[in-house]
Amino acid sequence: MTEKIESSTLEQAAEIALQQAKKLGATAAEVGVSQSNGLSVTVRQGEVETLEYNNDKGLGLTVYYGQSKASASTSDMRPEAIADTVKAALAIAKHTEEDDCAGLADADLMATQFPDLSLYHPWDIDAEKAIVIATECEQAGLEVDAKISNSEGGSLSSHQSAYVYANSHGFIGKTLSTRHSLVCTLIADDERGMQRDYWYDMARDAADMQSAKMIGQRAAKNTLRRLNARTVKTGNYPVIFAADIAPSLFGKFISAIRGGALYRKSSFLLDHLDKKIFPEFIHIHEQPYLLKGLGSAAFDGDGVTTNVRDFISDGILQSYVLDSYSARKLKMKTTGNAGGVRNLTIDSGALDFKALLKEMGTGILVTETMGMGVNIITGDYSQGAAGFWVENGEIQYPIDEFTIASNLRDMFMGIQAVGNDIESRGSTQTGSVWIDNMMVAG
């Protein structure tokens, strides 16, 4: 059973760091202190393959000496070790080049409300219980069909963490959170060789996860449906990105509107604010206050209040993704997104998954993408993929070893519908996404 985490000692360490920084002449300072503990276990073929415990602490400090900046870190929370870390950071800062945009976020933007977002749900689980659950998960998958010939195991992870951010504006914010997951990966054989697939669940509260049996059986179903895969004829086809991989598509959109990419002029969406880049029915927004949300937070990495925010409304780009530094570089205002977007949400339409297939008629359902073939500077998109051939609105057979290619501009504008089969296991919530046309190379 994991040891309960307390944030009070982290707050003390943060205060010591800030006091030392002020005492030694820093113009300003900010500090993040974290602690996490938990366990992970993997069972393969009924035997324990790995069992890991972790209990980590860390303090990261950034000091500003005029417009010069430097950072240092330590895992030693003793006052003298923290003082040494502050001295090291200041020594570096005095030799770094000045940056007009360096500094803390403005004091009047600091968060003042800290609602309970229900992020902390410790799981009373020890190694023995974790092994039993992981074993049950794997066994449930292996028993589905004799064609399931092997396993990469069932893996359970349970972790809790505390994080404190403080700065010399007098701001201090703390977050207690938990994250639990269970995954099963299975292998089946056919004439063409081995096929592998998986299923998982993840949640703040273990009570919200699917049962071990359900996860194992879904992993088996996913693996079996990939057997006897065929090739696809090269051509242009409509494509549906399944709900569990569709978040990667919107992740590329967020990467292209991040402040860092914009001020470096390395984004295909440079100078696209207030321009239409999606169809009118697309609404993309963030919801940082979702209860139990995997991306929920009351303040960002700069201590700035997070906000419900539209990125796309009526297909038009409403906002970039900015922290305080990138906002200054762009002569704009921070959007409270230091550290990322919190619970990115793509509103779904009326169609469920089956209706989406029926509306598409003939085309490709993509269930897996591979590779790194996306260029955020140009928007060019090319990925290896696997999935299913769809005809007459029905899945006909699995296909693999093909490539899908287009440009993200065309893909975004070519979205025909977003299904209501919402994927909610991560920090992006979306249904399956139907795109009108992509180049497919078999």
Give the pLDDT of residue 3: 61
What is the greatest pairwise CA distance in the chain? 73
Q: Give mean pLDDT, residues 125-136.
A: 97
Give the pLDDT of residue 1: 44
Residue 247 has pLDDT above 80, yes or no: yes
Q: Give mean pLDDT, residues 126-140.
A: 98
The rounded distance, in Å, linking the Cα atoms of 286 and 428 is: 9
Distance (Å) of CA 28 to CA 10, 21, 92, 312: 20, 8, 15, 36
Q: How distant is the alpha carbon of residue 8 from its chain centre? A: 28
Alpha carbons within 13 angstroms on the beta-carbon side of residue 353 total: 16
Model confidence pLDDT, tens digit, residues 56-86: 999 999 999 999 999 999 999 999 999 999 9
Q: What percent of the chain has pLDDT over 70?
A: 99
* pTM, two decimal places: 0.94
The rounded distance, in Å, linking the Cα atoms of 32 and 16 is: 12
Mean pLDDT of the chain, nearest integer: 96
Tokens of 297: 């937070």
Give the pLDDT of residue 2: 52
Q: How distant is the alpha carbon of residue 67 from its chain centre? A: 32
- Provide the residue ranges of all domains of the chain, joining segments of one domain with +: 8-224, 229-442
Beta partners for residue 418, in sequence order:
433
Residue 299 has pLDDT above 60, yes or no: yes
301 Cβ neighbours under 8 A, 6+ residues apart: 32, 165, 323, 338, 339
CATH match for 8-224 among 3.30.2290.10, 3.90.1150.10, 3.40.50.620, 1.10.3720.10? 3.30.2290.10
Give the pLDDT of residue 4: 67
Helix segments in 145-276, DSSP class H? 212-224, 246-256, 259-263
Give the pLDDT of residue 192: 77
Q: Give mean pLDDT, residues 267-288.
A: 98
Model confidence pLDDT, tens digit, residues 1-29: 456 677 889 999 999 999 999 999 999 99
